């Protein structure tokens, strides 16, 4: 197999002429014959026993040519790409067989290739970054969440139900003495004062004690289901259990039981620092995003539409797969967001354009700066993946060769270089948004970078 010629016929399109010699083509014909001979009938021979020469005389010399070319095609194209240093960004098209026969095969094809681009600027790019601060209110909020996580429920037996209690009840509703659909429940958990039941229902449980059986009289709201709206109803209720949530105080005991700290003072300082770190990580991530957006906008060159379409398809498939993992699908997503398929596809394409431009920019910076992937880089990446997926490093190496990591490692170095050389500016004051402005849902952008880990505290045993 050989590349006979390669000519650029458009900015990012090359036409290749590829040849497969007679011996290689004949070997492919024999492979096809051996695969198909058991299904070919020739008079006087059992299936699979007729020689190739007889089958060719019977059905034509070219009986296996098309299948042989189909078998050879991927390998021949890959070999031509390597010989011509062709970096294809899409499948070949306009394939034209010029010659096929005993002397081999010659064919031409067109292929879209990686574009030559220029990065007009990649140092001193600007991004907004605000000073990070933590207020006492934020610390209090986090400590309240800590209290909630370490709360427990206690069964109450020596008093009547009160507002805020968690009750376990049986109930059955009747309208005009007749039970109605959906009006019955057993061992139902109801927090009094939550407003989750019909107005007036929860208030009438207050004051009752364990094992009480009583009636609750209510009137359905006007906006209720049409068959019950504005009607009076009686619910037969039995109170099985009363529970109260006990939330611990913020004291040294809570600090010791629910965190790595010994005192409330240490807990507050540690919580403040955790919040600060988290906010700084978020600010750094937002800054990096703005800088990389600026980098993508500094790419000059004619990028093939095929690269955008391919990346958009990958994004769409990835997004749909993640929805499926959550038990949803695109139709459900469209229903909740108000998006249409056309709008979704348009947003995916716009997102892909930024991603492709950024990818090309990072690769170009890697070339300009002479960035490489060292043995230490590969070792660190394998270790990270091994820790993430709990797989032995040696096994990972058989699944993911170093060549598959090289581009990602170099691109990550290029990201670090760009961000470290960027300039942080104070955020601009945002103008008040028009309250009447229509809301347009946005497609969730898929980010493959792992989220920063927060420091874990000790869990309280209940």
Output DSSP code: residue 377. H
Task: Assign 430 a pLDDT band (cuts: 50, 70, 90).
Answer: low
Would you give the distance in Å from CA 70 to the centre of its chain? 36
Q: Is 194 a residue whose pLDDT tops 80?
A: yes
Hey, what CATH topology would domain 2-114 get?
Answer: Alpha-Beta Plaits (3.30.70)
Task: Assign 420 a pLDDT band (cuts: 50, 70, 90).
Answer: very high
Q: What is the pLDDT of residues 215-247, one digit of tens each?
A: 999 999 988 888 898 999 999 999 999 999 999
Question: Quick check: do 118-149+262-462 and 152-246 share a fold?
Answer: no
Domain boundaries, the chain: 2-114, 118-149+262-462, 152-246
In this prediction the pTM is 0.73
Q: What is the pLDDT of residues 343-398, one digit of tens each?
A: 999 999 999 999 999 999 999 999 999 999 999 999 999 999 999 999 999 999 99
- Do the Cβ atoms of 161 and 155 come closer than 8 Å? no
Burial 350-377, CB ≥16 within 10 A → b, else e: ebbbbbbbbbbbbbbbbeeeebebeeeb
Separation in Å, CA 407 to CA 359, 378, 382, 403, 404: 10, 11, 14, 8, 7
Q: What is the pLDDT of residues 63-107, one digit of tens each?
A: 999 999 999 999 999 999 999 999 999 999 999 999 999 999 999
Is the four-CA dihedral 178, 182, 187, 192 of positive or negative sign? negative
> Phi and psi for 153 in degrees, rounded to 5?
-105, 140
CATH of segment(s) 152-246: 3.10.50.40
Task: Assign 48 a pLDDT band (cuts: 50, 70, 90).
Answer: confident
Q: Which CATH architecture has domain 118-149+262-462?
A: Orthogonal Bundle (1.10)
Over range 139-150, report the average pLDDT. 96
- Do the Cβ atoms of 276 and 130 come closer than 8 Å? no
Q: What is the pLDDT of residues 290-315, one digit of tens each?
A: 999 999 999 999 999 999 999 999 99
- Do the Cβ atoms of 241 and 210 come closer than 8 Å? yes
């Amino acid at each position: 197999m050989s590349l006979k010629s390669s000519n650029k016929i458009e900015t990012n399109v090359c036409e290749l002429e590829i040849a497969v010699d007679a011996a290689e083509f004949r070997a492919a014909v024999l492979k096809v014959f051996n695969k198909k001979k058991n299904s070919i009938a020739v008079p006087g021979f059992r299936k699979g026993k007729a020689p190739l020469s007889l089958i060719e005389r019977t059905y034509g010399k070219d009986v296996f040519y098309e299948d042989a070319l189909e078998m050879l095609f991927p390998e021949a194209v890959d070999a031509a790409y390597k010989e011509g240093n062709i970096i294809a960004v899409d499948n070949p098209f306009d394939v034209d067989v010029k010659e096929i026969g005993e002397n081999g095969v010659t064919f031409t094809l067109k292929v879209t290739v990686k574009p030559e681009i220029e990065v007009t600027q990649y140092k001193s790019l600007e991004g907004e970054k605000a000073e990070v601060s933590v207020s006492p209110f934020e610390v209090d909020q986090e400590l309240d969440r800590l209290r909630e996580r370490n709360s427990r429920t206690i069964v109450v037996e020596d008093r009547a139900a009160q507002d805020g209690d968690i009750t376990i009840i049986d109930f059955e509703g009747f309208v005009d003495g007749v039970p109605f659909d959906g009006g019955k429940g057993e061992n139902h958990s109801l927090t009094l004062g939550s407003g989750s039941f019909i107005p007036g229902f929860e208030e009438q449980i207050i004051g009752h004690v364990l094992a009480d059986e009583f009636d609750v009289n209510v009137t359905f709201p006007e906006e209720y289901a049409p068959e019950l709206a504005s009607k009076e109803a009686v619910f037969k209720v039995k109170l099985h259990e009363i529970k109260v949530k006990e939330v611990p105080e913020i004291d040294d005991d809570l600090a010791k039981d629910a965190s790595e700290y010994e005192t409330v003072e240490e807990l507050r300082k540690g919580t403040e620092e955790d919040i600060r770190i988290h906010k700084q990580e978020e600010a750094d991530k937002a800054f990096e995003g703005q800088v990389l957006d600026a980098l993508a906008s500094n790419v000059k060159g004619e990028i093939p539409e095929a690269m955008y379409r391919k990346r958009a398809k990958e994004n769409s498939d990835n997004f749909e797969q993640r929805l499926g993992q959550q038990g949803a699908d695109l139709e459900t997503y469209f229903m909740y967001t108000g998006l249409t398929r056309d709008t979704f596809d348009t947003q995916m394409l716009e997102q892909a354009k930024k991603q492709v431009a950024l990818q090309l920019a990072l690769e170009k910076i890697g070339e300009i700066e002479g960035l490489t992937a060292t043995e230490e880089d590969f070792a660190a990446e394998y270790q990270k993946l091994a820790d993430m997926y709990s797989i032995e490093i040696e096994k990972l190496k058989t699944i993911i060769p170093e060549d598959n990591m090289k581009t990602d490692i170099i691109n990550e170095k290029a990201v670090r270089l760009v961000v470290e050389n960027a300039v942080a500016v104070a955020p601009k004051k945002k103008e008040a948004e028009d309250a009447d402005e229509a809301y347009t849902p946005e497609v969730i952008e898929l980010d493959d970078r792992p989220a920063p880990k927060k420091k874990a505290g000790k869990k309280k045993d209940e």
